[in-house]
Structure 1
Amino acid sequence: PPDSEDLEFSREDLEVIKVIGKGSGGIVQLVRHKWHGTFYALKGIQMCIQETVRKQIVQELKINKASQCSHVVVCYHSFYHNGVISLVLEYMDRGSLADIIKQVKTILEPYLAVVCMQVLKGLVYLHHERHVIHRDIKPSNLLVNHKGEVKITDFGVSAVLASSMGQRDTFVGTYNYMAPERISGSSYDYKSDIWSLGLVILECAIGHFPYTSTEQEESLSFYELLEAIVDQPPPFAPPDQFSPEFCSFISASIQKDPKQRLSSLELLSHPFIKKFEDKDIDLAILVGSLDPPVNLSE
């Protein structure tokens, strides 16, 4: 976008095109800036909060805005009106990994390696430079654009809102990808994001959520799922269907003991990532072959 960094946004400058998503706490709209035509995603979050907390949130979101990582969705601006915080975010025009797996069912290893590498770079930035835990890595929070870039979204927002309201450990969102230590109420760290990433990547590879079998179309009940994550052995990639490198990557991510899990930095140099690093695999080819999630001509 043309120097979006320097633009002052007001709500009036943005023309709403259509609703493109409903997330935790609010809706996401595709908007266009009236003056220069750039598209953004506008996320609204209902907040009934005191002025001091609001200022703190806006301040923290400004820090997000300064994000210098090409694998984290940029928040260009935020404003507050009538109990709603609105975030002006970079628009990722090919939707999320959730949109992609609805269409292709499974993603092949070379493409998964490229997805992993980009998400891991985003996690290295969050974990090692910003010292934050994302807390909600799932397919719908990993966004893709037509260039084949993958970026992490919803970073910070839920954490900022939770911490500012003094509820660091309450959770908004899905429990499906939550690490066992979080479900059982133990302390947790950056490695909880690695568990979530491992489950997401395994799901993309096998074509269904790892805790449900293909035959068993209906998902587990809430309590069955929590019990499975905490008490059962972790899921794994079937060795007869996947390369040893991929199986090893999944196993290094989905370890029930967080100390046994590799960090984002360690996983970046894992043989699975290295195997495809020089192969010039272009994710844009995969996303270009699919229907975009939002049809602008409608």
Structure 2
Amino acid sequence: MKIKKPLKELKLSVPAQNSPISTFLTASGTFHDGDLLLNLKGLRLVSDENESLPSEGKEIDLQFSLEDLETIKVIGKGSGGVVQLVRHKWVGTLFALKVIQMNIQEEIRKQIVQELKINQASQCPNVVVCYHSFYHNGAISLVFEYMDRGSLVDVIRQVKTILEPYLAVLCKQVLQGLVYLHHERHVIHRDIKPSNLLVNHRGEVKITDFGVSAMLANSMGQRDTFVGTYNYMAPERISGSTYDYKSDIWSLGMVILECAIGRFPYTKSEDQQSGPGFYELLQAIVGSPPPSAPPDQFSPEFCSFVSAWYGF
């Protein structure tokens, strides 16, 4: 009988005490956190000398406001907020508007600020563009480009599986986005999963949702916190060990295999009901060999490629 190795103590964060609202909201209604200022007019980053920082090539249209947008429908809901499909009243352009109710719990607020800063600075064709962000009446609104084919979750639901040639195109784009995040922005995404990879009708695949991303300022580039979606976490993250950029590669490997076989790799059938429970899944990821591509269904090159993810 196989003896499973016990999991190390998981490093789980606990809710912090709420901060006074005056610590992040001015009397005029401007949300502030460090060098970030956000209000109804938009977002601004300031230096210690209170000078505006350049937005790295993103032009700010001063005429663009929340009042210029009309809601068409709700296209997504989650713990991070509500996402609406909206249209610019005057030019007809479609956007995805993410509305987040401000939470004065410090940990949640820091995640929102993290997402705002990464979105503001990102300049990569494989990262979803955030055009504007606003703070008004207790809510932060982020205006994203509209990816009209939804996420990879929607794609898999429609086509069941994705063939190898298309997976190659998909994978290349996500990897280009990760190279940008890892090497130019020094960011670990920490939550790479199908719902955070968006697709449009041109076949473009882009990374989104940086609420739990980690900025790495030290030379070793390692973290030891436990955040993200556990299904796609690398073993070192689940076991509470330090981790680095490679954890995103593990997660992408799981996503690619899921797209190929049409189900989450740790489930045993397509009905998604025969998978392990929470603790069994954590134990399997940490203590068992990683899932592999069935050699009778895929090319040797693809099988080798998937296996390489886990040993990266």
Which TM-score band applies after superposition, normalised by the shorter structure? 0.7 to 0.9
Aligned counterparts of 2:211 and 2:187: Cα–Cα separation in 1: 11
Q: 1:183 aligns with which of 229, 233, 238?
A: 238
Match of 1:139 in 2: 194
CA, structure 1 residues 55+122, in 2 after alignment: closer, same or farther (shift >3 Å)? closer
Match of 2:60 in 1: 6
- The alignment status of 1:233 with 2:289, answered yes or no, reads yes
CA, structure 1 residues 230+59, in 2 after alignment: closer, same or farther (shift >3 Å)? closer
Aligned counterparts of 2:161 and 2:306: Cα–Cα separation in 1: 16
> Is contact 2:224-2:242 (8 Å) kept?
no
Q: 1:74 aligns with which of 129, 141, 158?
A: 129
Aligned partner of residue 251 in structure 1, secondary structure:
helix
CA, structure 1 residues 55+115, in 2 after alignment: closer, same or farther (shift >3 Å)? closer
> Is contact 1:49-1:83 (8 Å) kept?
no
CA, structure 1 residues 90+214, in 2 after alignment: closer, same or farther (shift >3 Å)? same
Q: Offset of 1:106 from its aligned partner?
A: 0.7
Q: Offset of 1:4 from its aligned partner?
A: 8.2
Equivalent pairs: percent with the same residue? 77
After TM superposition, list the pairs within 5 Å mapping 1:215-254 onto structure 2.
217-254=273-310
Aligned counterparts of 2:249 and 2:123: Cα–Cα separation in 1: 21
Residues 7-45 of structure 1: per-residue CA shift (max 9 Å, x gap) = 233222211110001133211111111121111111122
Match of 1:129 in 2: 184
CA, structure 1 residues 184+249, in 2 after alignment: closer, same or farther (shift >3 Å)? same
Q: TM-score, normalised by structure 2?
A: 0.72
Greater relative CO, 1 or 2 (CA 8 Å, sep 6+): 1
The count of residues paired between Structure 1 and Structure 2 equals: 246
Aligned counterparts of 1:184 and 1:238: Cα–Cα separation in 2: 27
Q: 1:101 aligns with which of 156, 168, 190?
A: 156
Match of 2:52 in 1: none
Q: 2:248 aligns with which of 193, 196, 200?
A: 193
Q: Which runs of 5 or more structure 1 residues have no equivalent in the other structure? A: 162-166, 256-260, 262-298
Aligned counterparts of 1:100 and 1:19: Cα–Cα separation in 2: 19
Over 4 Å off, 4+ runs: 53-60
Q: Which runs of 5 or more structure 2 residues have no equivalent in the other structure? A: 1-56, 216-222
CA, structure 1 residues 63+138, in 2 after alignment: closer, same or farther (shift >3 Å)? closer
CA, structure 1 residues 64+17, in 2 after alignment: closer, same or farther (shift >3 Å)? same
Query: RMSD between aligned alpha carbons?
Result: 2.7
Letter in 2 for 1:218: S
